[in-house]
Amino acid sequence: MRKILTPVLFVLLLLNGCGTLNPQGAYKGDKVLYDADLAITTSYAIVHAFVLWEYNNRSNLAGVPAIRKIADQLRTDYPCAMSSALALRDAYAASPNDGTAIELQKALAVLRASALQATKWLNQSQPSNL
């Protein structure tokens, strides 16, 4: 299963939305902003699902300390990365130019890395029948 999940999430985190924006919508045709918001909300959904799962299964996972270690690292790092990404997203929205777009992409890369980290445990836990 880990051989399936990790590549799927990798592709998911690299892809951007493929459709075209209705210009009457909230993004007013700004695909960069739409893709950024999609990346932010998706990374949160994945990281939150992981830390919640680890919290709910902590006793069962006591023999796999790598999972707790990764979860705790995300608990520490991810909220800061999210805060930074939201600030840079707002900076881009207020002033869309190459400079703010580049800074936003850097922040999104950190969030994508965090979401991928949430799948690292599959590689580290090494159960023989997954």
Partner 1 sequence: MPPLAILAIIDGAITIIEKAIPAFSAMVKKGEITVEHQQKLIDRLNALREPGAFDGPEWKVGD
Q: How far is the CB of 35 from partner 1 (least distance, A)?
A: 9
Site for partner 1 in 52-81 (CB under 8 A): 52-57, 60-64, 67, 72, 75-76, 79
Taking the mean position of all CA atoms in its chain, how far away is CA 52? 15
**Among 83, 76, 124, residue whose Cα is nearest residue 107:** 83
108 binds partner 1 (CB under 8 A): no
**Among 37, 60, 72, 50, residue whose Cα is nearest residue 6:** 50
Taking the mean position of all CA atoms in its chain, how far away is CA 34? 15
For tokens 């051989």, the residue is: 3
Residues 42/11, Cβ–Cβ less than 8 Å: no
Q: Which of 7, 49, 65, 113 binds partner 1 (CB under 8 A)?
A: 49
Q: How far is the CB of 103 from partner 1 (least distance, A)?
A: 18
Instruction: Report the greatest alpha carbon distance in the chain.
Output: 53
Q: Which of 94, 97, 98, 128 binds partner 1 (CB under 8 A)?
A: 128
The site for partner 1 (CB under 8 A) is made up of: 1-2, 5, 8-9, 12, 15-22, 24-27, 34, 37-38, 40-42, 44-46, 48-57, 60-64, 67, 72, 75-76, 79, 82, 86, 89, 118-119, 121-122, 125-130
